[in-house]
Structure 1
């Protein structure tokens, strides 16, 4: 999906990758008398006090402004796998909670019962203008890298804040909004935070605000869900690219279709209102060149807040939020691990149907020119000198070894393309079609193996039932991060996950246990493994411009009105592809999107470097008590095979930069090797597949597959999956094109099965 640059700059909850240079200083709170080592930056203030001899405790002080919004500190630095302390004002009180972040999603209340927040009354107050929360964090310093270490000297911690109110200010477990007012990393001197008076100060702390992990029993539904008057031949869940294609093709048969989306409108044509700064008829979701500032300008509205990885919860799903990469899959993407009947020769016709409506382009500007393209010129010389060839991935999709070229993009007439533009308008006004926004599907209702409809939660928080007609079907296309959750809440999956739903905080009416369908839902999730690599350009070589995507120059805006210029393009300026071969003779591919770094301080080029097709690592999704999906087992670089392939790929690139006359040098030093990079955490590629894998081996009978070769969920009569959840293998490039091709074929098979029903 090419969300990788957003992940570098910001991730939902707390991206925390920018490092501030604010130095911590000594501060004594006159009210509590506690001496802190404190950092104040951009509306964020955090102070810390420690005992002379390290323990698991510390005293913290968070200060915020205003009568709403939250402020928080990430004790492990970057958000992923970090423990956070988050607080906000509620009238004259301050509410706080310890939060676990298992990925780039909204952090959830910690379930660790050994930790607690204990407020220090003398240092805690709120007056509607400023609020302060002083607390003893009992047992909070961990040894699992989720926090700084007790004996650390100057670690980097993270921060985030916003002036937007939390969902339920009185509830310490409330959902929190995007950190629109600031985020980053900051160093803090812990050696100067140690004091012999710590025990005296800690003794002034009160009882725990709320014992960590003290989750009450699940809330039973108090009133039955309202029943809609309408019934449908098909109910499609999710408006990502697969869901839009599925719903459109089903509606074209003349049968009635309800398409359900948990998010709101996005583009101007669909009712979106997040206008670009310079035009009140275009949203950030419309203009390709505004991809990078989009999450800041829209307050992150399009991101899901309850998923293990970045996912789109808005009309258009991931197709509305991504970097618009549209890489046509090479033949081997289907031929390696896809089952019989789904090979490349079988997929030629659905691919042709897709490309007829949604072709993509390598020349998004109407005049056929590329703008702000200095990077391409620099890199072309670099790769040509190393024996690589230029290839147009639209015309020759199998040219994926030692090749570079213009990015293939899902852009249509200078606007963001994809099925939201090329499919949905064709059926949106039909009498047999209805789009339901701001409606989150809780579960599929069923009677044994027969699906009867869906239960949704609307924007007001009330539940509704939408039912199928006799012979109707439900199609899940909510995405890899959410389709498994709907299955678990429908009593389909492994007992461990269904029981997590049963004992969780979200009220869900599960089927009787005897009717649970045991299936390996959430298993075999895969993703491209990613590193962000920054290269310096040789002195005197121009590789970037100062093109401002959020506030473009007058000339750039004028060009866009003519359908030309930099705003018609994505942030990417070149795509590269290569194959490496492991010692065992296995082929693994890598690709990179090449662009200007967001925070460039000089002549640099950033590679979004991805290991793609041929990886073997697989993860497992699960669900927690708050209904969030998370990775029980992560899918990145888990096997020696994948680590070997990544090492070969990185060293291959670094070796080229060390050749005489190279225009590129790795920013961490010319002698850097793959091991230099592998010492840092691998990152999500956000190109997820799996979780409801398709295959001939029935998972309800001990096999590995959740859906059959017609994408019907095993153990059911009329439940289907058409998103990337059913894909059994990773593609060589970004997932958008292959998701759409597979959705075309899956929908055709659904129509064939349900034609006479």
Structure 2
């Protein structure tokens, strides 16, 4: 069943109260891992906040309706049940509209962004994620502690998602842990809970840790967005694509929008004069596209926009702001190693959409327990190694284990991601993406960062796109707060990094406006 692409009554404003008919202190573009926490924190100030999401509602909490038949008469959708996650990444169901159709590499285009469709792994950033990834001094670990604490206070995590406290179909994890922690090995791994020990990622392993809550997918939609929605000064607008930031010189005046689906807005949304701010949180690719259409980026890229169908709406060349948007684009190279011959638990997860086991459905619907409360196929454990290269640079490799059955044989698949410390970068969005596409799925973990590199200041760093205050270079009131301002890949799945960055950015922006 496809989603009904209409705004739920909870979020629909009357014509007189339409976002088109008022001004906003903060316009945040993108309802994902950074945009939602940022909107919540900024709305605490009492100033008006508009959060614009190009996609439709995913979770049933926010009016989502896309679900298999066995979830009818519940408030859950395919996005809420952990075990249905894998269907988003297969051709077993109709997935139209979930992945952005205008981005060459997988990017989410539904409410929640990546937090709505990924595996839900949540790891707190380590101090070195800030100190050794070329972040400016104001974003080093000593300045990020309070932001990390705030993120953790809002996002509980678990390594046992089922509400009965049991783990299901995880003997692949147990086998891996047993092998790697064997004390007879010369260098046995140490078993930890990763979020209890964020200071170390060297020769340790952990069960996979998730932001799942009460047996359902949790994350920012179940926490930050809930508190934001209770405030009268906050509004969420779905089904609406932001094409460009409208600006006069270095001052943003608002955004131009169009409907993505029924219920979306068409026209101009205005900032509060003099004091309003636009904040782009649309992700590394969509934020870059908005900047290009707003005449901000490398000259050669702006010429491409000028010569496209967007050309007539492009600012005159004398108003272009030339900054290297996209030049620092980064991802963690990933390769896979599969080992067969194990006697593993099996589960027909491919049947979950149309013909799930009745007993498992009842166990989940009544108690939020059993295999449906977990990622299927089974995921974990996760383990890390620090490796010092010949160039004296320390790199972190993250290994993620998946277990399943192929052709009747138990398979342990190990994904090795070269995370923090690698040196290669894209020299431009187009070339980098073409190379990534040619090698998928083996050479990308889809943990993209860095397309709008953050520098200590725009004046001192010509390769910066935003300054340490998250302001776009050359602009007074246009900001970027998403994965693009994270200058390098983190030691683990980066969701926690993006949420923590939003917490830090919110504090900085609010201080600017005091």
Scaled by the length of structure 2, what TM-score is found?
0.88
Contact 2:471 2:480 in 1 (8 A): yes
2:178 aligned to which of 381, 398, 401: 381
**Bigger helix fraction:** 2
User: Map of 1:499-518 to 2, 5 A cutoff?
Assistant: 499-506=303-310, 509-518=313-322
Q: Which residue of structure 2 lines up, in the alignment, with residue 284 of structure 1?
A: 78
DSSP-derived class of the 2:470 partner: coil
**Hey, what's the Cα distance between the residues in 2 that align with 1:269 and 1:372?**
28
Q: Kindly indicate whether the alpha-carbon contact (under 8 Å) linking 2:240 and 2:265 is maintained by their aligned counterparts in 1.
A: no
1:508–1:614 CA distance, 2 compared to 1 (3 A):
farther
Distance 1:350 1:257, change over 3 A: same
Answer yes or no: is 1:564 the counterpart of 2:369: yes
Q: Residues 721 and 599 (structure 1 numbering): CA distance in 2 closer, same or farther, change over 3 Å? A: farther
Q: Distance in 2 between matches of 1:588 and 1:495?
A: 34
Q: Among 744, 748, 755, which residue is 2:503 paired with?
A: 744
Q: Equivalents in 1 of 2:440, 2:485: separation in Å? A: 31
Contact map agreement 2:404 2:410 (CA 8 A) in 1: no
Is 1:238 the counterpart of 2:43? The answer is no
Q: Does residue 1:754 correspond to 2:495, yes or no?
A: no
**Which has the higher Rg, Structure 1 or Structure 2?**
1
CA contact (8 A) 1:358 1:419 kept: yes
**1:698-729: per-residue Cα shift (whole Å, max 9, x none)?**
27x76111111110111101001110101112
Deviation at 1:384, TM superposition (A): 1.8
The answer (yes or no) to whether the contact 2:336–2:442 under 8 Å persists in 1 is no
Corresponding residue of 1:311: 107
Question: 2:211: which partner in 1?
Answer: 410
Match of 1:735 in 2: 494
The within-5 A match list for 1:114-153 is none
Q: CA deviation at 1:531?
A: 1.7
Q: How many residues align?
A: 480
CA distance in 1, matches of 2:345, 2:448: 31
Q: What is the alpha-carbon distance in structure 1 between the residues aligned to residue 265 and residue 231 of structure 2?
A: 28
Q: Distance in 2 between matches of 1:712 and 1:680?
A: 34
Identify if the C-alpha distance between structure 1 residues 410 and 508 changes in structure 2 by more than 3 Å, giving closer, same or farther: farther
User: Which whole-Å deviations, capped at 9, do the CAs of 1:431-486 have from their partners, x for residues lacking one?
Assistant: 21111111110000001100000001113698410000121000000000111110
Structure 2 residue 10 is matched with structure 1 residue 228: no
- Provide the C-alpha distance between the structure 1 equivalents of 2:270 and 2:156, rounded to a whole number of angstroms: 36
Name the counterpart of 1:146: none
8 Å CA contact retained: 2:36, 2:221:
yes
Cα–Cα, structure 1 residues 709 and 352, in superposed 2: closer, same or farther, change >3 Å? Answer: same
The answer as to 2:413 corresponding to 1:606 is yes
Contact 2:138 2:456 in 1 (8 A): no
Unaligned runs of 5+ in 1: 1-163, 165-225, 623-629, 637-678
The alignment yields a C-alpha RMSD, in angstroms, of: 2.4
Counterparts of 1:347-362 in structure 2 under 5 Å?
347-362=144-159
Assess, with a 3 A threshold, how the Cα gap between structure 1 residues 345 and 634 changes in structure 2: closer, same or farther: farther
Quote the residue 1:332 is aligned against: 128
Residue among 251, 268, 272 paired with 2:60: 268
Asked if 1 retains the 8 angstrom alpha-carbon contact of 2:333 and 2:417, the reply is yes
Segment of structure 1 superposing worse, 415-424 or 592-601: 592-601
Distance across 1 between alignment mates of 2:160 and 2:86: 20
Q: Does 1:596 align with 2:403?
A: yes
- Contact 1:522–1:621 under 8 Å retained in 2: yes
Partner of 2:13: none
**1:291, distance to aligned residue in structure 2 (A):** 0.7
Cα distance, 1:378 vs structure 2: 1.2
Does 1:466 pair with 2:275? no
Deviation at 1:227, TM superposition (A): 9.5
Higher relative contact order (CA 8 A, sep 6+): 2
Note the residue ranges of structure 2 that are not aligned, 5 or more in a row. Answer: 3-17
1:449 aligned residue = 250
Using the TM superposition, give the Cα deviation of residue 399 of structure 1 relative to its aligned residue in structure 2, in angstroms: 3.1
Does structure 1 retain, via aligned residues, the 8 Å contact 2:405–2:411? no
Residue 298 to residue 425, structure 1, CA distance change in 2 (3 Å): farther
Q: How does 1:192-207 map to 2 (within 5 A)?
A: none
> Post-superposition shift, 1:595?
1.5
Deviation at 1:252, TM superposition (A): 1.2
Q: Is the 8 A contact 1:248 1:427 kept in 2?
A: yes
2:387 to 575, 580, 588: 580
TM-score by length of 1: 0.61
Moved more, 392-401 or 501-510: 501-510
Aligned to 1:250: 42
Given the alignment of the two structures, is residue 694 of structure 1 paired with residue 478 of structure 2, yes or no?
no
CA contact (8 A) 2:344 2:405 kept: no
- Contact conserved, 1:595 with 1:607, CA < 8 A, in 2? yes
Q: 1:396 aligns with which of 180, 197, 207?
A: 197
Secondary structure of 1:278's counterpart equals helix
Write the deviation string for residues 598-637 of structure 1: whole angstroms up to 9, x where unpaired. Answer: 7554111112221111111101444xxxxxxx4457787x
Pick closer, same or farther for the CA change 1:744–1:634 going to 2, 3 Å: farther
CA distance 1:227–1:739, shift in 2 (3 Å): closer
Q: Distance in 2 between matches of 1:255 and 1:352?
A: 24
Whether the 8 Å CA contact 1:244–1:424 is kept in 2: the answer is: yes
Deviation at 1:405, TM superposition (A): 1.7
Distance 1:328 1:613, change over 3 A: same
Inter-partner Cα distance in structure 1 for 2:328 and 2:334: 18
Provide the rounded CA distance (Å) in 2 between the counterparts of 1:528 and 1:415: 28
Deviations 1:216-261, CA, capped at 9 Å, x for gaps: xxxxxxxxxx992111001000001100011111111110111111
Where 2:161 maps in the other structure, the secondary structure is coil
Q: What SS class does the counterpart of residue 228 from structure 1 fall into? A: helix
In 2: Cα distance, 1:466 partner to 1:680 partner: 39
Structure 1 contact 309–481 (Cα < 8 Å) conserved: no
Q: Which residue does the alignment assign to 1:663? A: none
CA distance in 2, matches of 1:358, 1:633: 32
Asked whether the equivalents of residues 306 and 314 of structure 2 are also in contact (C-alpha less than 8 Å), the reply is: yes
- Distance in structure 2 (CA, Å) of the matches to 1:517 and 1:305: 28
**1:241 alignment partner, SS class:** coil
Q: Which has the higher strand share?
A: 1
The correspondence for 1:440, drawn from 233, 241, 249, is: 241
Structure 1 residue 587, shift from structure 2 partner: 1.3
